A and B are shown apart, each in its own frame.
Chain A
Amino acid sequence: MTHGHHHPPATGPEFDSGPPSEHEILSRAMQELLEERGVITAEQVRARMEKFEQDFPYRGQRVIAHAWVDPAFREKLLEDGKAACAEFGIDLEADKLIAVENTPEVHNVVVCTLCSCYPRALLGMPPTWYKSENYRKRVVREPRAVLREFGTVIPDHVSVRVHDSNADMRYVVIPMRPAGTEGWSEERLAALLTRDALVGVTVPKLTA
């Protein structure tokens, strides 16, 4: 396994430790009532949890790695994100996708200031910082300062573009492919594409 491969947060135990919170109790109560009334089934909810655990978080890195090696696919992805993913065998369900590319002149970063819109069917669940008030408040107004907090410094001659996914579209960043990766397999390239790089708060790094 390549060092630096991004792992989504580890699957917790089947039950959280400690007494349940009021909101956990509320959530379980609502789910049970809906199941009993035939609105949904436990299996549907379980299947969705599995998708979020085992499927969604791994898709983005594969799509972008493919865009790195296949220029025609990259163009398709930029033109129509959802259709390109479908061609690649990935169904984004309700998400509509806009891919934005980093270049030597442009660095992109994504936020949802109004709530937490995020391409979940491509990247899985958003990280806690993405949903945090401080990120939502500040990244539209002082993106360079926020990026520095992630250890990312963008030179002044590079334009920083903040994308606020405030309506129906969802966003993924196509980072620049690092030098020294010539001839790498897509799998090896995918390992460089951390979730944070696909949201735009970091850039892919080659590690030893």
Chain B
Amino acid sequence: MTHEHHLPSDMGGEEAGPVDTHDHGMKFWEKQANALRGTLTSRRILRLDELRRAAEDLGSRYYELGYFQRTTEALRAVLLEKGFFTEKELEARIAEVRRRYE
């Protein structure tokens, strides 16, 4: 069934391969990203619903990204929307963080 507004996240009932039943756990950064998200939602700085919507709006990238990649990009979108920082400020900080690892 295809509809013009079929979101990539709305996938129940589609055909797919076997489930990888092993739990691969989480990397440290993923645990921290998860805690960041939870801290922001529990303090009502933003809503989980906004994060979900931003993830859904990733379009074709939805399937290209892993779970924590999606949630991180969704968080970026919502934080930018709400004006917590600008794209420029974020890009500058990303470059600085990257430098620290070199």
Contacts and interface: CB of A to CB of B under 8 A. Distances in A.
Interface of A: 9-10, 12-16, 19-21, 23-34, 37, 39-40, 44-46, 48-49, 52-53, 93-94, 111, 113-116, 120, 125, 127-129, 131-141, 146, 149-150, 164, 201
A115 B69 CA distance: 13
A128 B20 contact: yes
B28 A12 contact: yes
Given A23-B72, A44-B39, A49-B35, A134 B16 contact: yes
Contacts of B28: 12-16
Given A45-B35, A115-B52, A16 B29 contact: yes
Contacts of B55: 115
B67 A136 contact: no
Contacts of A45: 32, 35-36, 39
Nearest to A28: B97
B90 A30 contact: yes
Given A16-B29, A133-B16, A52 B35 contact: yes
A136 B27 contact: no
A39 B45 CA distance: 8
Contacts of A15: 28
Interface string B1-43: 0000000011111111111111111111101111110111111
A32 B20 contact: no
A129 B69 contact: no
Nearest to A14: B28
Contacts of B18: 134, 149
B95 to A, nearest CB: 9
Given A9-B25, A24-B29, A30 B16 contact: no
A30 B11 contact: no
A179 B31 CA distance: 38
Contact of A9 (B26, B96, B98): B26
A44 B55 CA distance: 24
Contacts of A140: 12-13
A24 B27 CA distance: 10
Interface string B35-72: 11011111101000000100100000001000111001
A146 B13 CA distance: 12
